[in-house]
Chain A
């Protein structure tokens, strides 16, 4: 530290001391020295008289302090980042403050009880509230990103309030939800998306079965335990947290400008052999191609910017009031936040009111009551639904209004026909295609705790949650919904109400005892029931006046006509679980630890007889540093070896899959007497053939780990290895269709997850008034599918993503020995080059492949895309406008089996979506009153299918759709027509002439070849079907700076004058940058989620946010 700083500090310090002295009144004088565990003096530690915060002192440069206190009073010594201590006042005090990080006695909530971390035999990852508090994030889950090894947190996309996927140690199940169990303050909840981060005291993630088994089935994917802040006894404390932020689009896509676009559209229109039918709409919209240069002066409308280029200002504010006395404590928190999305008209607004009330009715009877009310409003239909065709249609929308507004087809004779041109744009589309969701959740939690004798705790707790959700959806007349025949291009309005209720009731008895001061025993027995059910009610109207606005329609549904097909009510089958569980833990002098758990769960998801699953686990630990041979090694704080083995279950499947239930179908039945439009009601077969025999999916986890803590807690290292196997995998299997059904839920297959994790925390530098600490996590998981489908053996199974799929639809492959999430498709092999063809003059210079087989290679067998036409529609690019699919300049796919045909037999695995390495690291530090944090997450070596780029490199089947494409196609694409100013061999300007097969221009073939000499990309006109091929498989590896925050806490002594305990102001940037070679908006799309991960299409792009915030505590 420089002399300069020292002198300033000294001056400030002297001033401060003068102030204190001025306020103090003389009694006993307490003196002492404060040091840290290394014996270094702690400068600036606060020494306060207990119960009288006004009487305080700070330590000087040598760690000394002097304070006058009444004789019997105690002193409280605190310093940021260290454990607060209380001592009796004395004249020569030696106080050693322990570092907070090394808090081995910290209590962790694990399975209905809490335990000291030192006594844990399982694997827990934790993040303290203090760490969460300094970073402004809008949800708890977001704050966890990259902080715990083996816990992977990804948001679905960048939409405000988007769902967050949390995976603990890879996906255990192939098909079912892999979401962990969430426990908030001991109560189970569905998700933690709506917990204000400012309310959180700590988050613990329980990773192995020895800890999760007590939760049985629900814990199979890990358990995330959130503890919210509770009030402390003492005076009422009020704190305020405010944040103001601005976000913007983090990356953007390149698109053609007006001239490039019109030039390309002409190329596309004229590339077609039948010029008249394609060039006519082009002329109608853009005028005479000879006048194309006019477009050089036309403005380019950047729809991406108009729709996504907003800089919404968001805020979040939270007020917490807490306090209480010896018998009753309360904590009330009110949070209001608004997160507007960068997409026009989207955003989330949240209001949360949480109350925690705790009272001791008698000496050993304690009652807790936590009511919570949360309100959430979501606006915007999401990346899929904005405008008329999702985000992609914004990107593809023509950058020019062109002549279309004024142009006319021959048949257009009156003004009303102008509407046929769909004079619209993405901004207008968003305004006429709206979705608003309102959700209210009311949670009541109570607990009664009775400790009749020492060590015995009987606890009964209940949780009753009511949810009300309204969705108001309006489809403007140009949306796909309105364009269907039945809606006749008229708006549709849908109101959906969903009411849900759920309750949990848990009764536990725990008993702790210590024998001979050495044998520590604890027992737990418990029972639990859980129930959830919902009722849904949807009302819809259609055939509104075409120009009605969303609000009017939704408020006056009677203006439309009842839309019977979309109107329904339903009530779900109750989903219930009944459970019994018990646990015995024993340790000998906290040195040898062993713990056993057993849980039985009964679920209504299975048929009687298969309802119960039994999940035992056992784990042990050996605290090596307590052995004699290490006792004297001072630099080792903890050396613990842990091992665990356990079973966990999964029943995350739909209700009623075990019994035969008919589906009610309002339309499509027989129309006897021709009276009933749409046909009569009928009972149809269940979608899946019920299976009486389905039972619990079970995961066996095996875990071995070390907890190492060194140098007085300055460095802690936790390496872990695990090997998990999931058997009786619940998988919707294909069954022989002769049975009349095609799918059935079956317990089939086996999946193994092997991996290791490493967590390192440490103080990199530490001085008297500064500290810099870092944390680092690294995880590696490898999944292997061991067994898939009983009757299939090795037959691969294919999956298709819902957002984007190829026309073959086998876009992902699952195979025994493989992993989940493997892309399956063709291998891109550049373009067909000029020399692979001959151009016989006798045949109008038609390109004839040298190898005949190539010509046959255009077809892909398989899917029938049009039910009526018999149009197999399966040419890879066969319907392209310019002739055979195999021509110079067209995309060439590798003929892997060498049979001369490009068909499904040439498909192979072209990408792996599973990151090989993932984790995060962070730096945080303090210097005097400044604090800073920076967090990074990374995922390495995984693939993403950039379907957005595919869409931006392709065109439409229809000559009336003029889609914009990536600007790289402006100069690099294969051209069919002569560009502006192109001169033929005779010196004539032949702008706009199609050169291929042109027998009217002398030497057209040579000109055509020259024109495309440097073409490195295909013409997007040639791609009109979705095809999965390797060109668009991109490496998604990234390093993201999730946040950087710098805060400043006003000196205590100054704020106190205003009656304020603490004031901290900070600035922060989230998603500041991302290092990646991925070319789309963001590579983090559905990473490892479900069967069809990492398909980047119509995703809400992530934004970059800058915030300013204030934390005030009174």
Chain B
């Protein structure tokens, strides 16, 4: 028994003392822990890459935001044929809290916020950071925008801190844009272990973000600094521009709910909105004054270079999202001409080094007509044909037009036959042109009238657009504050197609419902005009400055395939182009001898030898305008694309009624064609905001609630 006791107690003692050590295991190589990463500058940079990876994600800036969440306007447009609510079409204001795509976006943006919060928290608590900079930098989050007086000592670590903070602001900026008031925190979840941050008023969120960035920006490197990989990395100028963007949004109108009414909504702006415009003006000015940017490259080259994976310092791009070829970004896949490749029938066309593109990001059918003659942006941006899986041009000229700003077809070497998305084409999230125009808009608001400085800023953008010829704003455009605001917004309209800007510009200036109304009416009117004649033609023509009757009167379009012998508007010199012979001006059948006809027009013409192309001009008979049954309408019933593409705000029905959605109720809407302004006065606000996802509400333990009638 004695032996027994000795043995057992000995054994127990031995193992007890060893036990805690035995159970303390470190992860070896599968993953890295905080302590390891944040004690090494190189590793911290790798961790920052993790924040960048969040903005590269297809669920955020890589695809989703510019595809499904680019809300319809007079510029960006996607059609929809469903005559019932689907709940998952944000572009037509048809959303429901249980829609999958809303949840996906919400999750991705908050995942981005958390990754940035986590990085910022750990960097702040890093020994490296503390030792070197404890005395030099304070936590900017609570300073309320007070910029410290001392001269900042910019280091690699403060620069990285700034980059993370700008990206955090990018996520919150989108959350503010789509949801208004949002759950908000600067604290990492792992720091607080709080899974449900409180919903915070959008103004408070904006204030915090602006204060945070104003502070952080001072410790960032200028993009003139050769060691900074600008424009693919976020620079001080990018941070300034982001402040301007946030401030402009904060000072602008947005959809607000009544505290006591979960269904009601209206457009309001903060009472101190001018303070925000002042901040926007000042920070845009800081970028301009820094002098690191110009608009030297032509408009076309800015984008074609991006498509060729060339990032240029000091030109238009201030911050380009650094997508990686074959791994991220759908830019140039979503945009540009559609190119079908049937994966199951890999037809090997030697000229098809580009793979497939979807071409789903498009503009309205009428966008092209809004440009003034001489604006070089028009023929570059507006695309009318795509490619069949035979590699041949196919006219696709229906309710929308391709947005040819970016296309993987512009890449001179091609991305490979089997390539689809993941083009790696960068997207210039912040452009100098945007900064100039933000400056003009803010300055105009602050001063109550256009200043010369503001006019110069706009003209700088216009000079590039018009290739330096006859570009300056007219006196009428700069006569009053209102005229100038319209000029600035118009310039933004032509400059930023596909960049998810237009609807935000309209919301900010409380013009969204008016413009959506007119966009709907343009489609409706043209379709109706073709079919039975429309009373709205004059009204819409007047508003948009386009001769809509001319568009609806067209019956046939004649076009021909030719080799690209140097059309700068179509950057791919290997693919066949499609020349439209009578673009929107005439329905006269061209000569039966196309070569002569083209020669007369001074157009290059070289018949294609492939058997499917006869060398004859073709007419697009499914784009026949004015027939009793055509793409716009079917025997007096307008096409669904016309009726339902703005479903959640305004829609038609098969019986010829136009209905508008007001506070969730669908009401017949009377349009006084004689008094359009009075009609516009009757328009309710557009419910462009999205509902919180059902799941977020269900799991919030009652903290979150949907308003706006969701």
Contact = CB atoms under 8 A, between A and B. Distances in A.
Interface string A849-872: 000000010010111100111101
B490 interface: no
B111 A741 contact: yes
B63 A488 contact: no
B180 interface: no
Interface in A221-241: none
Contacts of A683: 32, 37, 43, 46-47, 49-50
Contacts of B420: 485, 868
From B56, B190, B349, name the one whose CB has the most chain A CB atoms within 10 angstroms: B190
Contacts of B58: 867
A791 B699 contact: yes
B557 to A, nearest CB: 22
Contacts of B700: 736, 738
B33 interface: yes
Interface string B91-120: 000000001110110110011111101100
Contacts of B11: 507, 509, 527
Given A420-B348, A580-B12, A663 B31 contact: yes
Contacts of B84: 856
A736 B23 CA distance: 32
A792 B416 CA distance: 47
B324 A671 contact: yes
Contacts of A737: 103, 106-107, 110-111, 693, 695-696
Interface in A672-701: 672-674, 676-686, 689-690
Interface string B22-45: 111111111111100100000100
A670 B56 contact: yes
B411 to A, nearest CB: 12
A509 B4 contact: yes
B345 A960 contact: yes
A574 B25 contact: yes
Given A509-B4, A686-B31, A735 B699 contact: yes
Name which of A576, A679, A861, A863 has the most chain B CB atoms within 10 A of its CB.
A679
Contact of B19 (A573, A602, A665, A870): A602
Interface in A644-667: 655-656, 659-665, 667
B189 A740 contact: yes
Interface stretch (A438-446, A450-458, A932-940): A450-458
B101 A864 contact: yes
Contacts of A685: 50, 111, 114-115, 118
Q: Is the interface of B mostly helix, strand, loop or mixed?
A: loop
A1077 interface: no
B470 to A, nearest CB: 37
B423 to A, nearest CB: 11
Contacts of A686: 31
B87 interface: yes
A507 B323 CA distance: 58
A488 B416 CA distance: 9
Nearest to B349: A411
Contacts of B118: 685, 740
B663 interface: no
B367 interface: no
A868 B49 contact: no
B146 interface: no
Nearest to A676: B324
A742 interface: yes
B7 A527 contact: no
A720 to B, nearest CB: 35
A670 B4 contact: no
Interface stretch (A466-474, A564-572, A970-978): A564-572
Contacts of B34: 660, 662
Given A668-B56, A856-B84, A863-B100, A525 B30 contact: no
Interface in A396-428: 409-411, 417, 420
B337 interface: no
A233 B487 CA distance: 105
B28 to A, nearest CB: 4
B383 interface: no
A130 to B, nearest CB: 38
A237 B197 CA distance: 75
Contact of B323 (A671, A738, A872): A671
A734 interface: yes
A511 B343 CA distance: 73
Contact of A570 (B30, B325, B326): B30
| Majority secondary structure of chain A interface residues (helix, strand, loop or mixed) | loop
Interface residues on chain B, size class: 35 or more
B421 A868 contact: yes
A485 B24 CA distance: 44
B672 interface: no
Contacts of A660: 33-34, 190
B334 interface: yes
Nearest to B330: A868
B196 interface: yes
A53 interface: no
Of A456, A486, A602, A868, chain B has the most CB atoms within 10 Å of the CB of A868
Nearest to B15: A527
Given A668-B56, A868-B360, A795 B47 contact: no
Contacts of A739: 110, 114, 189, 194-196
Given A685-B114, A735-B195, A861-B88, A670 B696 contact: no
Contacts of A529: 15, 22
Interface string B334-371: 10000000111111110000010010100000000000
B520 to A, nearest CB: 20
A961 B344 CA distance: 8
A672 B418 contact: no
Nearest to A744: B195
B385 interface: no
Contacts of A741: 111, 114, 189
Contact of B195 (A483, A511, A576, A738): A738
B86 A570 contact: no
Given A573-B30, A740-B114, A868-B67, A485 B12 contact: no
Nearest to A656: B27
Interface stretch (A146-154, A603-611, A710-718, A777-785): A603-611
A481 interface: no
Interface string B310-343: 1100000000001111111010011000000011
Contacts of B311: 673-674
Contacts of A689: 189-190
B495 interface: no
Interface string A494-524: 0000000000000101010000000000000
A868 B50 contact: no
Given A660-B34, A660-B190, A685-B111, A608 B24 contact: yes
Interface string B160-195: 000000000000000000000001000001100011
Contacts of B512: none
B354 to A, nearest CB: 12
B417 to A, nearest CB: 8
Contacts of B114: 685, 739-741
B19 A872 contact: no
A589 B233 CA distance: 83
5 contacts: A509-B11, A669-B50, A674-B309, A738-B197, A868-B67
* Nearest 6 Cβ contacts at the A-B interface: A740-B114, A682-B49, A679-B324, A671-B324, A670-B52, A661-B31
Given A410-B611, A485-B419, 14 more contacts: A420-B346, A572-B28, A660-B34, A668-B328, A672-B322, A673-B232, A737-B693, A738-B196, A738-B197, A739-B196, A740-B189, A861-B86, A862-B100, A868-B63
Interface of A: 281, 409-411, 417, 420, 452-453, 456, 458, 483-486, 488-489, 507, 509, 511, 525, 527, 529, 569-576, 578, 580, 602-604, 608, 611, 655-656, 659-665, 667-674, 676-686, 689-690, 734-742, 791-792, 795, 856, 859, 861-864, 867-870, 872, 958-961
